[in-house]
Amino acid sequence: MRKATTDRSRSRGRALLPLLALLLGAAVGGCSRPAAEHRAAGDRAAPAVRQPPTPVGGQPATGEREAPAVPAAAAAGPARPEPARPAPARPDPAWPEVGRPELARPGPARYAPVAISYPAAGGNRWHGAGPESPAGPGRGRLLRYRVLVEQDIRGLTVADFAAEVAGALHDPQGWTAGGRLRLLRVGWNQPADFTIFLVTPGTRDRLCRGAPDGYTSCRNRDRVVLNVARWMKGVPGYGADLATYRRYMINHEVGHRLGLGHERCPGPNRPAPVMQQQTLGLHGCVANATPYQHGARYSGPSGVYDDPVPPRDRGQAG
């Protein structure tokens, strides 16, 4: 009887095995499904990155904006402001008689001397010289000057004239020799302490504002006015070449701008002081174009001579 009961129990256990297998498979399938759903949820939370459209011509495609690149200068710090450009030259309100200058254009190379001509009176129009660099020799106070040449003077470029002016002012025996002064030519439309003009005889009278003579040169306030007639012809009986007389002209009138008055000959056969009116006579002295002699300021007694002024110059044809 006990054996029959045992056999029936074993038969029931074998019958239940398929059912247990089914239940076990369901349990395993239920455990693996949530892991797959987790992976899918993770994919939706982090979608694949979409590549932007390819730029055309080096520019970002429409809808794809880029931050502008920072220039190297900005990265290094605030950019320095650009220096102000010089304003176009205008007539000086304090000197309405001075016409508007123009920057001279370089002319063709010259291989032979060109005849220089000028009328008795010009049209008050100007060529302006450019700046020089660096400042001339010397130390101390710096004075800036401009150079203008009247346009009616033909055959003489403003560059050539400016070079002769600079040569006189920067001479080792010139006004800078004392070590207390420097002279620098600036551009025609830049601020300056004085202006050196080369003018026709008629314009000389207009700018000098004194007794009109059409013969001499002058200095009137901040205007150093050189008469082209004297520049070209010098004066009779001067006893030195034209280049020496031209240097005298420049240094004499610039000396007035520096605050010096006229001087007289210090003695027979001695060099004439540069502030002597050598254009009108030497009075026993010999021609001299420089304000310094052997490194020392050379001068004579203060005063003038009652010399007559020759007739007005009538111009020079080419």
> What is the pLDDT of the chain when averaged over all its residues?
75
Task: Classify residue 309: in a domain, yes or no.
Answer: no
Task: Classify residue 306: in a domain, yes or no.
Answer: no
Task: Classify residue 314: in a domain, yes or no.
Answer: no
Give kind and range of the element (H or E) at residue 138.
none
Q: Do 116 and 315 touch, CB atoms closer than 8 A?
A: no
> Is the pLDDT reported for residue 130 higher than 70?
yes
> Is the pLDDT reported for residue 14 higher than 90?
no
Task: Classify residue 292: in a domain, yes or no.
Answer: no
Rounded Cα distance, 144 and 68, in Å: 45
pLDDT confidence tier of residue 133, bands split at 50, 70 and 90? confident
Looking only at the bridges linking them, the beta strands covering 126-128 and 141-150 are antiparallel
Where in the sequence is the domain holding 252, given as residue range(s)? 115-261
Q: What pLDDT was estimated at residue 292?
A: 97
Model confidence over 111-121: pLDDT tens digits?
A: 445 689 999 99
Rounded Cα distance, 315 and 318, in Å: 10
CATH number of residue 234's parent domain: 3.40.390
Task: Classify residue 147: in a domain, yes or no.
Answer: yes
- Closest residue by Cα to residue 66 from 77, 58, 76: 58
Q: What pLDDT was estimated at residue 93?
A: 43
pLDDT confidence tier of residue 41, bands split at 50, 70 and 90? very low
Cα angle, residue 21 at apex, residues 17 and 23 outer, rounded to 5°: 115
- Closest residue by Cα to residue 136 from 163, 106, 103: 163
Task: Classify residue 154: in a domain, yes or no.
Answer: yes
Task: Classify residue 235: in a domain, yes or no.
Answer: yes
Query: What is the pLDDT averaged over residues 188-216?
Result: 95
Count up the domains in the chain and report the number: 1
Burial of 168 (0-12, 13-18, 19+ CB in 10 A): buried
Q: Do 271 and 293 touch, CB atoms closer than 8 A?
A: yes
Convert 124-149 to b/e letters by CB count within 10 Å (16 or more is b): bebbbbbebeeebebeeeebbbbbbb
> Is the pLDDT reported for residue 172 higher than 80?
yes
Task: Classify residue 174: in a domain, yes or no.
Answer: yes
